[in-house]
Each structure stands twice: as C-alpha cells, then as structure tokens.
Amino acid sequence: MRDEVITQARRVVVKIGSSLIASRETGLSAERLERLAKEIAEIRAQGREVLVVSSGAVVSGIKKLGLREYPKSLPVKQAAAAVGQSRLMWAYEKAFERLDLRVAQVLLTHADLADRRRFLNARHTLTTLIEFGVVPIINENDTVAVEEIRVGDNDTLAAQVAHLIDADLLVILSDVDGLFTADPRKDPGATLIPLIHEITEDIEQRAGLSSTFEGTGGMATKVRAAKKVGEYGVPTLILNGTHQRLLPEVLSGHPGGSLFLGRERRMNSRKHWIAFTLRPRGQVQLDQGAVEALVRKGKSLLASGIRDITGQFDAGDPVTCTGPDGKECAKGLVNFSSAILIRIKGLKTADIQKIPGLQEYEEVIHRDNLVIL
C-alpha cells in the first residue's frame, strides 16, 4: 500500500524546512538549495507536478541584518522576512534556471485562504502556473501578515496548499528521518515507523515529545498538518531532506521516511475549508439532543438545541459547537449573529417566527455548512 500511494502520486507539494537551506550562522546555503532543486527537477522528470512551500526567509534575513538571535517582535521578524525573502527567491530562481525550469513566487496569508473567493482565485492561479510548467515557490507573506491573518507555520501552510490544489501527496522535508517509536536520542531501541494508517492520540503524543527540529515548527506541527490534510484524503510523507537523492529514490519506491495515510472517504473541499482553514469566531454550547441530531442523524442545528453562546460574531462567521461536556463536536457557518442567537437560544422555530424581523432562516447552521469533528 505504501509504495502504491507514493509512486502513483502525480501532483506533489514539497515543503522544505529552514534547517535544510538556511542557518543562523551562515544565512542561506545556495549549495543545499541547488541540490534540492535538482532533486525536484528529477521527480518532475518522472511525470509529476511539483509545488514547493519553502521556509528560510526569516532565518536568511537574520544573517543579512546582522541580528544575533531569532527576532521576538513581529516588526523585526517582518523586516528579516522582507530581506530574506528576496534572497531566497533569487537563489531558487538561479538554481532552477540552471535546470531550464521557471519558478514563480506566491505569497499567501491565512486571510487569503479564509476568504472563499480568494481561496478559489489562489487555486486557479496555482493550477495555471502548473499548466505552464512553472514551479510555484510558496511562502507565507510575513512582511504584511499581522497575528490575526497569519497561518503560523509552514507545515500548516503546506497542508493548506495541498488541499488548495488537490494534491496527491504532501512531502515534508526536514532534518530527521520521520516519526519514531520513541525519541531516538534517548532510546537506542527506537525504530522508525514507516507507515501510519491513522493518527491516533498516541501518535500525536509521540510527536509532541520530539524536539529535534529547528525553526518554528516541530514534529508535532508536522503530524498536525498530516492530520488536517489526511481528512481531505491526501497522504503525508515526512522525509529527511539532508540525505542526498532520498526524495527521488523514495518517490520511486525505495524505503525511507514515515508515510501518514489519508482517509479513504475524503471530506469535500468546501467542508475541509470550513473545518481546517477557517478560524472560529465564537462558540455555541448544545444540549445532548442537539449533539445527537448533528452527529448521529445528520441534521441541521436549530436554536432550540442551543444552551449558551460565547464570543461575538456575525452571520456567516465560523463557530464551533460543543456538547454539555464542553467537547467540540462540530463547526460551521452561522446564519445569525451572536446578538440574535442570545435572544433566540432555546426557542422553537414556531416561537422565533413570532418575533418580527428575526425569521430569515429556520436553521442556525444548515447541514451543508456544518462539519462534524
């Protein structure tokens, strides 16, 4: 199963970690970047379409600005990204130019992906670049992104790009071999897990104990990214990018890395966007009957099943739904603002209809705009 999933993937997103191409001591390593460009060119020659999500802009800018440590404030980090991003893209441009390949810079923020129209526009732009034989080099637009519109880390961004363009495989390249049964630095008996059928709580705990990655991400962020994109049916391969030619060899069927399988019944694109791209603006607490209606019976959410509302939100905003025990059970787009929901919570539809000006919808969240978590 593993070999089949990997070798048959035709559209591949490759995330390159900052530890592979940049360091705080030396800045950007053109030599390592050129080696990775050759490997990407090789897997393209196998008949695959490749998109790159690249870290390294901030770390590259740190060296250029003469900073002694990783910036803590957002303005300094953005300044480093502005300096480093141009150096990073120039290095990619030159590396791929030697291989007779064209590249395009694509900068995204969470706000670009959270807006459905901009999400679809980004999809069309990326697919058009692929049709022209261009290799998109994607990064977060750190120079303009404030905290509210940031994706946060490039593992998450890579997962969102994989969903955005309907990828067949997400490859996360870093400086470790994959997910182990234990921390290999502390346990000499730890072994690599080559195939993960399902990301369980145990798997997430193992990932949380790892601290071998440089940069802002870690194994935990990579497993979370694999879990998110796996809901859309896309598998994720975590691979050690420091080993020369490992990427093209593994994609040709050789052993290496840890593969996380995606779900066979993939969530449709819009519902995946609601579940994993949109950030909730508030929360509604449901009674047990409403939880059963949503989770077991596939019903829409009605006001009669709502106990309480937390946060301020407008009609059309994403909110999470929790049961009486406080556990999240669903997420969706509400038809009413929080101010109106406070007035109608617990009321039956017939009673709401008697209130002038409020009865625009029967459902608080329609099942077409609702995702069970």
Give pLDDT, residue 151.
Answer: 65
Give pLDDT, residue 362.
Answer: 84
Domain with CATH 3.40.1160.10 in the chain: 2-271
Binding region for substrate: 55, 142, 154
b/e for 280-319, b at 16 or more Cβ within 10 A?
bbbbbbbeeebbebbbeeeebbbbbbbeebeeebeeebbb
Q: Which residues pair with 331 in a beta bridge?
A: 320, 371
Which element (helix H / strand E) includes 88? Answer: helix 74-97
Give pLDDT, residue 354.
Answer: 76
CA distances 178 to 77, 181, 203, 243, Å, are 29, 10, 12, 13
DSSP 208: H
Give pLDDT, residue 159.
Answer: 94
Pairing of strands 370-372, 328-333: antiparallel
Binding region: 15, 55, 142, 154, 174-175, 216-222
Q: The whole model's pTM is what?
A: 0.81
Phi, psi of 282 (to 5 degrees): -170, -170
Domain with CATH 2.30.130.10 in the chain: 280-372
Which element (helix H / strand E) includes 80? Answer: helix 74-97
Give pLDDT, residue 213.
Answer: 32
Binding region for ATP: 15, 174-175, 216-222
Give pLDDT, residue 244.
Answer: 94
CATH number of 280-372, picked from 1.10.630.10, 3.40.50.150, 2.30.130.10, 3.40.50.1220: 2.30.130.10
CATH of domain 2-271: 3.40.1160.10
Q: Which residues of the chain have pLDDT under 70?
A: 24-25, 142-152, 208-217, 357-359
User: Roughly what angle, to the nearest 10 degrees, separates helices 57-65 and 74-97?
Assistant: 110
